[in-house]
Amino acid sequence: MSSRVNFGFLLLIFRYIYSYKISALKILIVNGPNLNLLGSRQPDVYGHESWSEFFAALVSRFEGRAEIDCFQSNSEGAIIDRLHEADAALAGLLAPGSAPDKLRHYDAVVINPGAYSHYSYAIADAIAAIGIPAVEVHISNIMGREEHRHTSVTAPACAGMICGLGLEGYAAAIEALLRRKI
């Protein structure tokens, strides 16, 4: 047996190891009704920072660890469609032409369904149908608000729920997903 090392083979292995990149977790944030008004709607409850300001800082904060996209809609159907599209396995079941060919798929979802969390069984069913973890976030403490806000029909379909931390709840959800606690 020869003691000579095949340097070509070692170089090939070296290139493979160092060219392999561990991809960041792909996370979709889904915001429901009226969350497009953050910063101006009820600042005493939801704060003064706009979503665009916060989102830019959030993306920067998790750069290299997570690729974060955001979708917001005031429409229940659009939220359901986007949840379906986020899961690569479900996207293949969508009607031809209903989703872009180069649709981006995700590893996890952070969802703030807004008022839909209190009564949208359709969104709850969509969350339960996707094969990726979802974390529900509420900016305010829904348990400390009006009684009709104390119930979330969407939360049981999620891996976890964070409420009352302000916009930092989104960061907490992402951190939990990154640490695979959820």
- Which member of 48, 138, 150, 170 is catalytic? 138
Q: Is 148 a catalytic residue?
A: no
**DSSP code of residue 108:** E
Ramachandran bin of 67, using left for φ above 0, alpha for ψ from -120 to 50, beta for the remaining angles:
beta
Interatomic CA distance for residues 32 and 74, integer angstroms:
6
- Number of Cβ within 10 Å of residue 106's Cβ equals 23
Determine how β-strand 66-72 pairs with β-strand 108-112.
Answer: unpaired
Would you state the structure tokens that stand for residue 152, as one six-digit string?
């979330």
Degrees to nearest 5, angle at CA 29 with 133 and 57: 125
- Which member of 16, 18, 20, 46 is catalytic? 46
Interatomic CA distance for residues 71 and 29, integer angstroms:
6
Q: Is 138 a catalytic residue?
A: yes
- What are the catalytic residues? 46, 138
